[in-house]
Amino acid sequence: MVPAYNERENLAPLLAEIAAALGGRSYEVIVVDDGSTDGTFEALQTLRQRYPQLRIIAFERNAGQTAAFAAGFRAARAPLVVTLDADLQNDPADIPKLVETLQRTGVTAVAGYRANRRDTSWKRLQSRIANGVRNRLNGEVIRDTGCSLKAFRTDAVRELPLFSGMHRFLPTLVKMQGGTVTEVPVGHRPRQHGVTKYGMWNRVWRSLVDAFAVRWMQRRALRYRVREEV
């Protein structure tokens, strides 16, 4: 499942790499066009002629990455769903490793962490600060909350309470619902086309606000066990 906002130039190579990584498997690719204005939707329509596995969801206007994830989770028909960014910085070749780990371990979710970030030092610093803040406030140990390359059991993520900004906290939300999470290292590549959609505001400061919201949810989550039911 791929959220895409103004990523027209990255779509053809992305779909080609996914096809190469998943050759011989049965799969679908859901791309959620988050109100793009650069011709992303038209490019996807053309690519669908070459890739029948492609399903397209197009928003009327930009609604944000969490909304794109929510729409993709609801539309997914397979028992497992893998998320990754459209900017080609996530490597589709890592998808089989995430799926195999999910099936072998029996966990609810597998979170990828970028073992070797291919970003500027400034961007890496922002991400390190934001990741530390989120983990500190939410009592977490997730190594790379900002990495979109993750695998989930579809039924579990359909049930998650998602609000704006919650895509950064999917492993934490899974745990709040009683699920389990493990992590695996994944590759990371420099961006070739388009521009990043995140800066200091929405990578650090917005994350701080969202982390407080998740902390509120954690503290007020219902916790009970049924002793018996007659």
Q: What is the CATH number of the domain that holds 86?
A: 3.90.550.10
Q: What percentage of the chain carries pLDDT values higher than 90?
A: 60
The answer to whether residue 201 is domain-embedded is no
Check: CB of residue 127 under 8 Å from CB of residue 203.
yes
124, part of any domain: no
Does some domain include residue 209? no
pLDDT bin (cut points 50, 70, 90) of residue 76 is: very high
Model pLDDT, residue 165: 83
Number of domains within the chain:
1
Q: How confident is the model at residue 86 (pLDDT cuts 50, 70, 90)?
A: very high
- What is the residue range of 25's domain? 2-118+143-191
**Position 175 in a domain:** yes
Residue 205 lies in a domain: no
* pTM exceeds cut of 0.75: yes
Residue 18 has pLDDT above 80, yes or no: yes
Q: Taking 70 as the threshold, does the pLDDT of residue 192 lie above it?
A: yes
pLDDT class of 72 with cuts at 50, 70, 90: very high
